């Protein structure tokens, strides 16, 4: 083995042992997609482009308006047949299946090999919101464990308009104590709109992703000492909550982008039953707020 090969092997071993990186985190490397009129995806990421760009509509593009390097990731509005329809540009780290019939990305099946519990995923963004009042841009992070088909940690972030690049931090709430190790990291970005105009105006730019390690384990785990449980999970229409302690609670059901779907006020309760029927399949959150202490506790749930 020559000296160059030895040094390279040592660097690779050091990276695998001491730390991991988010693949193509600066969105510098892109690949062309066949039959998409010039559609591209960042290397090692999957987007809705393969399903939508065949109609010459690209929700994911490479932008030279970057924070650093040469390129940034750009998510734009997809033009809908009418203002009554909703379409979402989406991109996820790793390989994920696409449904070409409805332009949807099964982002939950994406992710890269990753074996560290981390505190947050960070980066820089710039967001010009479209004219539709329905427009929203948001991110989702999951630390997954394939052995249990479960989630060890999750974080979500809603982007507010900004005319220049500013930092963002997606804090990861650990759903299991102790948390880890996971086997994969999923990062996804979304732009949802019901824009039927032929000239989309909204755009979200993302660049220079990185993560922060867990420093204060006690601080991250502290809020999960509360005995708030829910079942079944996944669910179809009805979900049951058990608080462990009788009290007054406010219960919110939220979409992954933070939109309030249901809210309930409970008095002198230690459990409840919720009907969540008229919602699409996917990931949702239950947020419980204790009226006595004001503390909030969040759990993830999946609707099949």
Per-domain residue ranges of the chain = 21-218, 226-303
d(Cα 248, Cα 267) in Å, to the nearest integer?
A: 4
**Is CATH 2.60.40.1930 the right assignment for the domain spanning 226-303?**
yes
Global confidence as pTM: 0.73
In terms of Cα–Cα distance, which of 25, 26, 22 is closest to 67? Answer: 26
Residues with Cβ within 8 Å of residue 173, at least 6 apart in sequence: 153, 154, 155, 298
Res. 113: pLDDT tops 60:
yes
In terms of Cα–Cα distance, which of 128, 152, 139 is closest to 204? Answer: 128
DSSP state of 246: E
Res. 282: pLDDT tops 50:
yes
Q: Which H or E run contains 73?
A: strand 72-76
CATH class of the domain whose range is 21-218: mainly beta
Q: Which H or E run contains 128?
A: strand 118-128
The structure tokens 């900004």 sit at 162
Percent with pLDDT over 70 in the chain: 83
Average pLDDT over residues 255-274: 86
Give the pLDDT confidence score for residue 91 in this predicted structure.
96
pLDDT category of residue 150 using cuts at 50, 70 and 90: confident
Q: Could you check whether the bond before residue 148 is cis, i.e. omega within 30 degrees of 0?
A: no
Average pLDDT over residues 191-200: 78
Give the chain's mean pLDDT: 81
Stretch among 134-138, 150-154, 219-223 having the lowest mean pLDDT: 219-223
């Amino acid at each position: 083995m020559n000296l160059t090969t030895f040094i390279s092997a040592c660097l690779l071993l050091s990276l695998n042992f001491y730390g991991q990186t988010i693949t193509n985190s600066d969105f510098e490397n892109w690949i062309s997609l066949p039959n998409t009129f010039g559609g591209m995806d960042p290397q090692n990421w999957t987007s809705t482009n393969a399903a939508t760009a065949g109609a010459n509509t690209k929700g994911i593009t490479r932008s030279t308006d970057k924070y650093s390097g040469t390129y940034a990731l750009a998510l734009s509005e997809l033009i809908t047949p009418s203002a009554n329809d909703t379409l979402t540009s989406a991109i996820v780290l790793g390989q994920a299946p696409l449904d070409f019939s409805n332009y949807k990305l099964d982002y939950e099946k994406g992710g890269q090999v990753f074996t560290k519990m981390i505190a947050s995923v960070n980066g820089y963004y710039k967001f010009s919101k479209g004219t539709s009042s329905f427009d929203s841009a948001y991110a989702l992070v999951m630390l997954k464990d394939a052995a249990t088909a479960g989630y060890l940690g999750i974080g979500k972030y809603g982007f507010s308009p900004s005319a220049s690049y500013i930092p963002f931090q997606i804090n990861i709430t650990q759903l299991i104590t102790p948390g880890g190790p996971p086997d994969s990291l999923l990062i996804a970005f979304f732009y949802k709109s019901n824009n039927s105009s032929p000239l989309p105006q909204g755009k979200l730019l993302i660049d220079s992703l990185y993560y922060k390690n867990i420093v204060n384990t006690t601080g991250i785990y502290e809020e999960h000492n509360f005995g708030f449980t829910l079942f079944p999970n996944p669910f179809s229409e009805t979900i049951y909550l058990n608080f462990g302690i009788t009290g007054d609670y406010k219960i919110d059901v939220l979409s992954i982008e933070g939109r309030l779907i249901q809210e309930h006020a409970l008095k002198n309760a230690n459990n409840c039953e919720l009907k969540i029927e008229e919602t699409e399949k996917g990931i949702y959150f239950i947020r419980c707020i204790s009226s006595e202490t004001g503390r909030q506790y969040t759990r993830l749930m999946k609707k099949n």
